C-alpha cells in the first residue's frame, strides 16, 4: 500500500490512500467517527481498504484532526455537554455536507482520480454525513456504506444523559436527520452497505436493521462479531495498529466497494 498523502481540500483536512498501481482510479470519500478513530488520519489507519483499486480519501469532520481547537477535543466536549443536538450533532453534519462539494472539486484537482461516480463511506456521526449526501444531493455515487452509523438522530440524542428538551426548532433539526424516513431517496441514488457491530448500542443496531428493511434489495446488512461502537482504542486521534474487529469491517467494506467499482462490470 502506498504511503498516505495528507493535505487540505477547500479548507477540509484529508488523508488519502492511493491504489496500489497509482494513477487514475475511482474515488471513495469517507467521513470518520467522533468516537475513536476521531480524525481522518486515524480513520484511514483503521479502515484503509487496501485491496480496493480506488483512491480512498478520508475527510476530516468539523473541529477534528487538523481543525481541533488548541490540538484538543475539549471544545467539542463543551459543545455536546451544553446542547448535544443543536451545538454538536446537527451542525457538524450540516457543515460537513456543506463543505463536501468544494472539497470534492479540490480533491479532483489535486489527485489523479477519475471524474466518474464516487463511493461514500461514513462511520458513526460521519455515517449521517454519507447518508445525507446520498439522500439529498445529486452527486453521482456508485455505492455507499456506513459503519455503526447515526441513522436516526433522535436515537443518537437518546444516548446522551437526561431527557432532551425539544422545541420546534430542535424537532425540525432532529427529524431532518432521520434517514429511515429518507430510505427511498437513498435507494434511488445508490446501493448501500450497512455495517453494524454486534456490541454497538442497541438503538443504533435497531436503526440499522430498519434502514435496510426500508431500502429492500438496494441495501445489505452485515453484523460484525465482537464489535462495539468504536473502531480503535482511545484516544483515537493518531493512526494506530488496526484492531481485529476493525480488520473484519475493513474486509467487508473492501469486498463491497470492489464489487461495485464502476470498472468492475
- The answer as to whether 265 is a domain residue is no
Task: Determine the Cα–Cα distance for residues 44 and 213; give it in Å rounded to an integer.
Answer: 30
- The answer as to whether 11 is a domain residue is yes
pLDDT value for 107? 97
pLDDT value for 154? 98
Task: Determine the Cα–Cα distance for residues 43 and 123; give it in Å rounded to an integer.
Answer: 9
Helices (H) and strands (E) in the chain, counts: 9, 8
C-alpha cell of 99?
463543505
pLDDT value for 1? 56
pLDDT value for 74? 87
- Is the C-alpha dihedral spanning 89, 186, 220, 55 positive or negative? negative
Contacts of residue 23, defined as CB under 8 A and 6 or more positions apart, other chains included, come to 112
Name the domain count of the chain: 1
- The answer as to whether 249 is a domain residue is yes
pLDDT digits (tens, 9 = 90+) for 150-187: 999 999 999 999 999 999 999 999 999 999 999 999 99
Q: Select from 2, 117, 18, 123 the least CA-distant residue to 60.
A: 123
pLDDT digits (tens, 9 = 90+) for 206-262: 999 999 999 999 999 999 999 999 999 999 999 999 999 999 999 999 999 999 998
As to burial, measured by CB atoms within 10 angstroms (0-12 exposed, 13-18 middle, 19+ buried), residue 36 is buried
Query: In this model, does residue 201 exceed pLDDT 80?
Result: yes
Give residue 165's region: left, alpha or beta (phi > 0; psi -120 to 50): beta
Q: Is residue 23 very low, low, confident or very high in pLDDT (cuts 50, 70, 90)? A: confident
Q: Select from 246, 240, 129 the least CA-distant residue to 179.
A: 129
Task: Determine the Cα–Cα distance for residues 74 and 247; give it in Å rounded to an integer.
Answer: 29
Query: In this model, does residue 121 exceed pLDDT 70?
Result: yes
Alpha carbon separation from 160 to 164, 173, 190, 243, 244 (Å, rounded):
8, 17, 32, 26, 28
- The answer as to whether 158 is a domain residue is yes
- Domain of 80? 5-260
**Beta carbons of 41 and 67 less than 8 angstroms apart:** no
For the chain, the average pLDDT equals 95
DSSP H or E stretch at residue 11:
none
pLDDT value for 245? 98
Q: Report residue 89: phi and psi, to 5°.
A: -60, -55
Query: In this model, does residue 36 exceed pLDDT 70?
Result: yes
- The answer as to whether 75 is a domain residue is yes
Average the pLDDT over 75-83 and give the result: 91
CATH number of the domain residue 26 falls in: 3.40.50.1820
Average the pLDDT over 69-93 and give the result: 91
Q: Which residues pair with 72 in a beta bridge?
A: 69
For every residue of 167-186, DSSP letters joined together read -HHHHHHHHHTBSSTTHHHH
Amino acid at each position: 500500500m502506498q504511503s498516505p498523502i495528507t493535505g487540505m481540500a477547500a479548507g477540509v483536512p484529508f488523508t488519502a490512500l492511493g491504489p496500489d498501481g497509482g494513477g487514475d482510479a475511482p474515488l471513495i470519500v469517507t467521513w470518520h467517527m467522533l468516537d475513536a478513530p476521531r480524525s481522518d488520519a486515524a480513520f484511514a489507519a483503521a479502515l484503509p481498504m487496501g485491496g480496493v483499486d480506488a483512491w480512498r480519501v478520508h475527510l476530516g469532520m468539523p473541529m477534528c484532526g487538523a481543525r481541533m481547537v488548541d490540538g484538543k477535543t475539549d471544545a467539542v466536549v463543551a459543545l455536546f455537554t451544553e446542547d448535544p443536538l443543536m451545538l454538536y450533532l446537527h451542525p457538524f453534519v450540516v457543515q460537513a455536507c456543506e463543505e463536501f462539494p468544494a472539497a470534492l472539486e479540490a480533491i479532483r484537482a489535486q489527485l489523479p482520480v477519475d471524474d466518474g461516480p464516487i463511493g461514500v463511506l461514513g462511520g458513526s456521526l460521519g455515517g449521517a454525513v454519507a447518508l445525507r449526501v446520498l439522500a439529498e444531493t445529486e452527486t453521482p455515487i456508485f455505492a455507499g456504506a456506513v459503519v455503526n452509523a447515526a441513522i436516526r438522530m433522535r436515537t443518537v440524542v437518546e444516548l446522551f444523559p437526561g431527557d432532551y428538551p425539544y422545541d420546534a426548532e430542535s424537532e425540525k433539526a432532529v427529524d431532518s436527520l432521520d434517514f429511515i424516513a429518507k430510505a427511498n431517496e437513498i435507494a434511488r441514488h445508490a446501493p448501500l452497505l450497512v455495517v453494524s457491530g454486534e456490541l454497538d448500542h442497541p438503538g443504533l443496531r435497531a436503526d440499522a436493521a430498519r434502514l435496510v428493511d426500508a431500502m429492500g434489495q438496494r441495501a445489505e446488512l452485515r453484523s460484525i462479531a465482537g464489535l462495539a461502537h468504536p473502531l480503535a482504542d482511545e484516544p483515537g486521534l493518531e493512526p494506530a495498529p488496526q484492531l481485529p474487529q476493525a480488520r473484519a469491517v475493513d474486509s467487508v467494506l473492501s469486498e463491497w466497494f470492489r464489487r461495485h467499482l464502476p470498472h468492475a462490470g
